[in-house]
Amino acid sequence: MLKISPKAGRVRHALISAALGTVLLSGCAGPGKTFTKSMTLGGKKVSARRLNSGEHLFVTYCSACHGIKGDGKGPASIGLRPPPRNFTQGQFKFAAVASGRLPNDEDLLRIVQKGLHGSAMLPWNDVSGRDIMDIIQYLKTLSPKWADKTPGEPIVPEPDPWGAEREAEAVTRGMKVYHGMAQCLSCHPAYETKETITAASIELSKREAVLRPDAYHAELKDSDYGYKLMPPDFTRDHVRSGETLEDIYRTIASGIGGTAMPTWKGALPDDDIWALSYYVRSLIRIKGTPEADARREKLAQTLAVPSHDDTKAN
């Protein structure tokens, strides 16, 4: 079902790339961007041939959005929310490494091949893995971070301790950890009544729950990208880096680089990270249903302060 939009998008940026290609060809020897020597990037030696190939492919496929200089300001970037990544910052969101560390090649390959759902970053499954790898090596020349740092240690999950037979148990445990221990609801919405949240908090953390005034909606957060980010409401918004259990586990365990979303691996036992993944998946499964919307509104009303303006619904 994602088939149509990638095609339409591809045609659009093929046109833009063609326009950009003309600009680049006319200034081919260009601003010092033709590589004559191999470089060490993220601790790995990369040949000049790969970098030149990567540059050419980047200009063709990626620069419409990510910009000729890789600064995220390509002609097709205007109005995109979230905006395309600025590769000169050397900062990435969705890698399976601790937040703030550089991604491994496998991370970048996965992200480029699968795309980021709900953003303009579409799956590039018609470009060969080898070509994408060339582009990835070239991306590393755009930020000085890759010259002196190596990628983070890959975060590898322990085997799923719950399994399909214990799914219901995992979802219940995940619900309690989400609301009563890991404080996911300090940024993301809460999905339970105040009583249930308080019970979970007392059971797992031995303290009363603290709810934000608007606990049933997400709260806008600062990021290192120069714009604020809204944490997703899993019953309403896209989860960008994939919706399988393994994808959700990876996101929660690693956190999201450059954003408020922290790394949970090590901070929570692995069983609980898996339980949270089951719980978040159960929310994603009811995404967009009238029941989920009705439930959100009903819960929100339980927190409405009647004093100021009780004639207006939110």
Binding-site ranges for ligand HEC (CB under 6 A): 9, 13, 61-62, 64-66, 76, 80, 82-85, 92-95, 108, 111-112, 116, 119-121, 124, 135, 178, 182-184, 186-188, 221, 229, 231-232, 239-241, 248, 251-252, 256, 259-261, 264, 276, 280
CB of 188 to ligand HEC, least distance (A): 5
Contact (Cβ atoms closer than 8 angstroms) between residue 217 and residue 300: yes
- Using CA atoms, how far residue 165 sits from 114, 157, 169, 190, 280, in Å, is 29, 19, 9, 26, 18
Enumerate residues 6+ apart whose C-beta is below 8 A from 186. Answer: 212, 219
CB nearer to ligand HEC: give 35 or 249. Answer: 249
CB nearer to ligand HEC: give 237 or 304. Answer: 237
Entry field: residues in the chain: 314
CB of 5 to ligand HEC, least distance (A): 11
CB nearer to ligand HEC: give 198 or 257. Answer: 257
Instruction: Take residue 141 and report the two structure tokens written for it.
Output: 């020349």
CB nearer to ligand HEC: give 243 or 304. Answer: 243
CB of 283 to ligand HEC, least distance (A): 9
CB nearer to ligand HEC: give 56 or 188. Answer: 188
In angstroms, the CA 134 to CA 138 distance is: 6
Q: Dihedral through CA 89, CA 54, CA 98, CA 236, nearest 10?
A: 80
Contact (Cβ atoms closer than 8 angstroms) between residue 194 and residue 209: yes
CB of 96 to ligand HEC, least distance (A): 10
